[in-house]
Amino acid sequence: MALIVHKYGGTSMGSVERIQNVARRVAKWHRAGHQMVVVPSAMAGETNRLIDLAKAIQAEPDRRELDMLASTGEQASVALLAMALKSQGVDAISFTGWQVPIVTDDAYTKARIESIDDRRIRENLEQGRVVIITGFQGINREGHITTLGRGGSDTSAVAVAAAIHADECLIYTDVDGVYTTDPRIVSEARRLDRITFEEMLEMASLGSKVLQTRSVEFAGKYKVKTRVLSSLTSPDIPLDEEMKSGTLITFEEEMDGTNMEQAVISGIAFQRDEAKITLTKVPDVPGIASRILGPVAAANIDVDMIVQNQAVNGTTDFSFTVNQNDFKRTMKVLETEVVPGLGGGEVNGDPLIAKVSIVGLGMKSHAGIAARMFECLAKEGINIRMISTSEIKTSVVIEDKYLELAVRALHAAFGLEGEAVEEKVV
Ligand code: ADP
Ligand code: ASP
Ligand code: MG
C-alpha cells in the first residue's frame, strides 16, 4: 500500500464525463489498496471566465476580491469529483484550501505556500476515504483566501505530497508527458521518459507551462517523486502500465550510465507573456541599477532578464523584462517613482516580445552550444534583442512574430525530433 497524490488539470476535469473518468481512475488506484489524495483544478475555461467577469467590472480587479472569486472554480471541482467517486461506491470527502488549511503568504494572485496541516488529511485517509483538496488556493494568516498564480494546482499537489510524505505525486494532464518542446507548436516534439529536476525547473521557469515552476521547486526541495502523465487514456488501463507511463522527474545523482549519452540539449522552452522595458539616457552613476529596480521590487514585481549597456557620454540604456501582467504597473512605478529622481532618462515599453530558451545539462560540459543557437537564428533572419545564460540554459528575447519559427528551427537544429509517440494525445 502506498500513499499517492493525483493532480488533474482543467482539461482533465473539463466535463461531467471527464470528471467521471477521473473518478474511475482514482477508484482503480483506491481499490488496489492505495491511500489517495486528489488535487483537481477548476474545469477548463472556468478560471478565465471568472477573471474576465472581474475585469468587466473593474479594469484592474482588486486583488483580494479576485482571489476570492478565482478560487471558486476549484471549489466546484472538488465537490463534483467527490460526488462522482461516491456514485461509484468510493467514500470521498472534499476540502478547500482554508479547511485543510493550506497557509500562504499575503501575495494575492501569486501567493506562496508556507505550511500545510496534514491532520485532517490523515484522519480521513485512515478512515478509508479518498481526500480531495482544491488546487490553486490557500489562506493567509489573517484568514483571507489567496491563490497561487496561474497553473498553481501543480504546486498545491506537490506541496501536499511533500507535507504528507507521499510515495509519489502523479500530475495528470492533457499530454502524455514532458516533451522536448510544446507539442502543440512542434508536432515532431518527442516525449522524454525522464527529465532531471534541474532541467525541468529551467523548462518550467522559462515558459513550459506543463508544470508550474514552484511545483518543480517543491519537488526538488522535498524530493517528491513526481511524474507527468496523461489523463486522457482509458481510466481502466492496468495500474502497472500506468505507473510506468509519462515522464518521471529525476535527480542528477540518480542518473545511470545510459543517461550519460543523452542529448546536449533536452528541450526548448518559450514564453510569450513577457514585456520589455527600456530606460534610455540614464545617468551612468554608481547605484543606478538599484535605484531603478528597487522600487520595482518593492511593488512586488518580479524582474527577469536585465541588460545594461556600456555608457556613452555619461549616460547608459538599461533594459529589463517583466511579466506582461505586471507591465502597466511597472511602467507606472518607473514614471512616477524612478525617473523623477534619476536626473534624466526616458521610459519605453515593448509588450510584443517573446523569449526562447534552450535547456540541457549537457551544456555544462559542451562548449559552443549558445553559438550554435545564435547561428541557427541568424540563418532564419531572426534578430536577437537580449541574451541571458546560465550553466544549463541560454535564453534570447526576439520579436514575438518570429517565435514559432525560432522554436521549430532550433528544435531541428539540435536534432530533438523523434519518432512519433503512439499515445500522443494532443
Ligand atoms: P493542465 O490543465 O493539466 O494543468 P496545462 O495546459 O497547464 O495543463 O499544461 C499542459 C500543456 O502544456 C500541454 O497541453 C502543452 O501544450 C503545454 N506544454 C508546454 N510545453 C510543454 C512540454 N515541453 N511538454 C509537454 N507539454 C508542454
Ligand atoms: N485553475 C487555475 C488556472 O487556471 C489553476 C490551475 O489550473 O492549475 O490557472
Ligand atoms: Mg497547468
CB atoms within 10 A of CB 185: 15
In this prediction, residues 144-165 reach a mean pLDDT of 98
Pick the CATH number of 3-175+210-254 from 3.10.129.10, 3.40.1160.10, 1.20.1300.10, 3.30.1490.20: 3.40.1160.10
Does residue 226 line the site of ligand 2, with CB under 6 A?
Answer: no
**CA–CA separation, 73 and 84 (whole Å):** 17
Residue nearest to atom 27 of ligand 1 (CA): 182
Where in the chain do CATH 3.40.1160.10 domains reside? 3-175+210-254
Label residue 419 by pLDDT band (50, 70, 90). Answer: low
Q: Given a cut of 60, is residue 130 above it in pLDDT?
A: yes
Q: Given a cut of 50, is residue 60 above it in pLDDT?
A: yes
Residue ranges around ligand 1 (CB below 6 Å):
9-12, 41, 151, 173-175, 178-179, 181-184, 208-210, 267, 426
Q: Given a cut of 90, is residue 367 above it in pLDDT?
A: no
- Cα-trace Rg, the chain: 23
Give the atom of ligand 2 at the shortest distance from the alpha carbon of 74.
1
In this prediction, residues 174-187 reach a mean pLDDT of 96
Q: Given a cut of 80, is residue 423 above it in pLDDT?
A: no
Kindly provide the b/e burial profile for residues 53-80, where b requires at least 16 CB atoms within 10 angstroms of the residue's own CB.
ebeeeeeebeeeebbbbbbbbbbebbeb
Where in the chain do CATH 3.30.2130.10 domains reside? 267-414
Give the atom of ligand 1 at the shortest distance from the alpha carbon of 426.
14
Q: Give the pLDDT confidence of 32-59 residue by residue, as tens digits.
A: 999 999 999 999 999 999 999 999 999 9
**CA–CA separation, 78 and 329 (whole Å):** 34
Query: Which pLDDT value is given to residue 33?
Result: 97
**Is residue 7 part of an annotated ligand binding site?**
yes
Q: Please give the grid coordinates belonging to residue 227.
A: 511524474
Give the atom of ligand 2 at the shortest distance from the alpha carbon of 154.
8
Q: Please give the grid coordinates belonging to residue 404.
A: 514559432
In this prediction, residues 16-41 reach a mean pLDDT of 98
Q: What is the CATH number of domain 267-414?
A: 3.30.2130.10
3-state class of 223 per DSSP?
Answer: coil
**CA–CA separation, 309 and 118 (whole Å):** 51
Question: Would you tell me the crossing angle of helices 72-87 and 63-70 to the nearest 10 degrees?
Answer: 10
Q: Give the pLDDT confidence of 83-106 residue by residue, as tens digits.
A: 999 999 999 999 999 999 999 999
Average pLDDT along the chain: 93
What's the 9 CA to ligand 1 centre distance in angstroms? Answer: 10
What's the 42 CA to ligand 3 centre distance in angstroms? Answer: 10
Q: Given a cut of 60, is residue 257 above it in pLDDT?
A: no
